[in-house]
Amino acid sequence: MAGIDYTERIPNNVNLSENRRLQRALEEWQPRFLEWWKDMGPDGFQAKEAYLRTAVSVDAQGWAKFDYLRMPEYRWGIFLAEPEPGRVIGFGDDKGKPAWPDVPGEYRGVLRRLIVTQGDTEPASVEQQRHLGRTCPSLYDLRNLFQVNVEEGRHLWAMVYLLDAHFGRDGREESEALLQRRSGDRDKPRILGAFNERTPDWLSYYMFCFFTDRDGKYQLASLAESGFDPLSRTCRFMLTEEAHHMFVGETGVGRIVQRTCELMREHKTDDVRKFGGIDLATIQRYINFHCSVSLDLFGSEVSTNAANFYTMGLKGRFEETKKPDDHQLKEATYPVVELDGDRITTREEPALVSLNERLRDDYVADCVRGLTRWNETIKRHGIDVELALPHRGFHRAIGSFAEAKVSPDGRVISEAEWDARRRDWLPTEEDQAFVQSLMRPVVEPGKFAGWIAPPSRGINGKPVDFEYVCLG
């Protein structure tokens, strides 16, 4: 079961050839996906060979095989983690019953919506990042970008498989619509806010990988708990690939911070812009922006949708199975940080409707771990500055804080104060223009742009100066 049949048009470990109807549906979708990839995938590099990993099986030996290939030749396919024999539903009203191999009729609409929302983010991120290759800070970074992009493409395949296999004609229509919406398009935008923002430069890209891909980790982990077993298995395998995306984000920002600190020390100034570095104040403003739009991705603090997803057994908590409670939460409460007039308070809310907030808490704790590592770098250089996450109410568009203006340190403020201070807190046009001015491609193996430090090691044991993408 673990092996993937690469002789088939669509590599898979789900015995696709035994289901002719499904195979035909996916084979019809495949050329349209490739068309989308050519139109909306990495711009200008489709014919270049990149050193990429491809899964050849879902076990430890096979999920990461590295070789040179051109991106359109990447073998996008359908890979589910191994089934767990005897798996039961871990939470909600159906807790303890056998996990569903098929969609329960009464949950069809809700489940489809969850899968479509997840699926929509994957092509969106490829669209957002499609111009970055032209300004890469090194071949190493270029290769990592492409790795993330092809895997987001595969994650789209993962959701399309579920839609086509389990939702009949509706599912096929949704699969089509996933290729029709476009990030940032006024008429047919992507579903969630953060996926319609621009990713115009590599600082934004690394912030996106750190903050927004991390939402992906937490959402996928919650869906991996699902009682709908095919969703659980597909998300479990997606999580294996997702780890690299967050590595790219954390080390990407970390290397920028490192370089900034080196320049600060060398020139004895905070103002490293004139030396081609990105000052810590600008990095902080980018953190504020990307963190806040990613916090929105968790939905409202108090959400009946979230309660329903849980009670229905469709979407659990992060590490649901490890939680030492009744996994039904009907009597439990959870402390939720909320807006109360012009004050911010913490109130005990019913645990079921607070599940978005709980996941957001898990997420914030994980972000803090990354931030702490960046701050250690700053400290190692003897610099007395700390980067911080903005307060969760800052610059929010979803949930109770959307109604208020909140400063990064968590004060409810007036519109006037917001207008006066906004430029201190969020990237300004000048910041963006400055960061953009640094974005000049560096494509000689082993060389790096002046605003980012080299990584401590290469990919898959290769040296840092390995030719990760052949541009010749």
Given the rule CB under 6 A, which residues bind ligand BYC?
A: 114, 117-118, 121-122, 125, 152, 192-193, 212-213, 215-216, 219, 296-300, 303, 305-306, 315, 356, 398
d(CA 238, CA 438): 34
Shortest Å, Cβ 190 to ligand BYC: 9
Nearer to ligand BYC, 16 or 114 (CB): 114
Shortest Å, Cβ 209 to ligand BYC: 8
Which tokens go with 180? 């029709």
Shortest Å, Cβ 115 to ligand BYC: 8
Nearer to ligand BYC, 309 or 448 (CB): 309
Residue written as tokens 């020390």?
A: 265
d(CA 470, CA 94): 53
d(CA 136, CA 202): 8
d(CA 372, CA 380): 12
What are the DSSP E strand ranges found in 77-187? none
Q: Which of 74, 244, 246 is nearest to 150 (CA)?
A: 74
> Which residue is closest to ligand BYC by CB?
299
The alpha carbon torsion through 63, 66, 69, 73 (nearest 10 deg) reads: -10
Nearer to ligand BYC, 121 or 377 (CB): 121
Nearer to ligand BYC, 156 or 453 (CB): 156
Shortest Å, Cβ 464 to ligand BYC: 26
Nearer to ligand BYC, 49 or 122 (CB): 122
Which tokens go with 150? 């092809």
Shortest Å, Cβ 193 to ligand BYC: 4
Nearer to ligand BYC, 204 or 219 (CB): 219
- Asked if 300 contacts 355 with a C-beta cutoff of 8 angstroms, the reply is no
Q: How are beta strands 343-350 and 333-340 bridged, if at all?
A: antiparallel
d(CA 405, CA 418): 7
Nearer to ligand BYC, 297 or 389 (CB): 297
Q: Which of 94, 158, 81 is nearest to 316 (CA)?
A: 94
d(CA 236, CA 82): 9
- Asked if 228 contacts 103 with a C-beta cutoff of 8 angstroms, the reply is yes
Shortest Å, Cβ 280 to ligand BYC: 25
Shortest Å, Cβ 113 to ligand BYC: 6
d(CA 433, CA 453): 21
Shortest Å, Cβ 196 to ligand BYC: 9
Nearer to ligand BYC, 104 or 299 (CB): 299
